[in-house]
Amino acid sequence: MTDKKPSAPMSKKTQRIVKLLLHSDNTIAMLASHPEITAQELELVINEALQELQPLLDGNGPAGGPIFPKRSRRGPSRFVGDAYQLKITLRGSKPPIWRRLVVPADIKLSVLHAVIQTAMGWHGVHLHCFDINGLTFQSPDTEVFTEDNAEDERQYQLCDLVNAPKAKFSYQYDFGDDWQHNIVVEKIIPASAQPPTMACLAGKGRCPPEDCGGIHGYYHLLEVLRNPHHPEFKDLSEWIGEIPDPDDFDCAKVSVLLSSIG
């Protein structure tokens, strides 16, 4: 009896393809968006998937492993016309700076980027990325984008990757100041409810000013501006222009701005 030849280790590229296929509700469309996948690579993906799923087929419990993240059992057609209610919270903010939004379930990640920028109050002058199920998505129009470590955010809809209530993912803006946003799908609104295409339902807290040194720099800035005798008061007050009100937020104004995003 001849021993079966062990399969070669999966490359990072193949692992990424497996993750994308497992989270996609339309495998054919996903493969079509990656024409660079060769027949040999596709065969490797299928073989690896079958090996990982074998415990499940044998009745020994769910398959596991780092390349098989959890996935919703919802069918792909159920998301057409649906909407997601998202809560976006700026990580480390106390009291929390957050927004509650309604967006189409099939919104492209590139458009969701614009929505987050508008809702939070950022200016979009820095790099950004999404971290979803251990995968990175960002715009390819940046010098830090490479095929090895990120996917093109323009090619993916949110419901292709996140398709269950309470699902969580993150969004990072400005890799220097490192503004991290925690995002949770609070609920999925069915198309029959006729939700608004895009809206801000609620929120609290003003967005920090750009380039202030991250969340800790922001709170240091507020501390200095509250004390005219602080040695940094003159320099920082001249830089900021006017003292920001940390509680300033206009939900209705954000909804109007979101309605113009296509």
* pLDDT one digit per residue (tens) for the chain, 262 residues: 455 455 555 566 666 666 666 555 555 555 655 666 676 766 776 666 666 555 544 545 443 333 333 333 333 435 657 899 999 999 999 999 999 999 999 999 999 999 999 999 999 999 999 999 999 999 987 665 554 578 999 999 999 899 899 999 999 999 999 999 999 999 999 887 766 679 999 999 999 999 999 999 999 999 999 999 999 999 999 998 877 788 999 999 999 999 888 6
Task: Report the CATH number of the 81-210+244-258 domain.
Answer: 3.10.290.30
Q: Alpha carbon of 246 to those of 16, 94, 219: distances in Å? A: 41, 11, 10
Cα-Cα-Cα-Cα dihedral sign, residues 174, 179, 184, 185: negative
Say what angle helices 109-120 and 251-258 make with each other, to 10 degrees.
Answer: 150
261 in Cβ contact with 115 (< 8 Å): yes
Q: Which two tokens stand for residue 148?
A: 């090895």
pLDDT at 257: 94
pLDDT at 196: 63
91 in Cβ contact with 173 (< 8 Å): no
Q: CA 250 to CA 70: how far, in whole Å?
A: 37
pLDDT at 75: 39
CA dihedral 8, 45, 56, 7 (to 10 degrees): -10
pLDDT at 225: 92
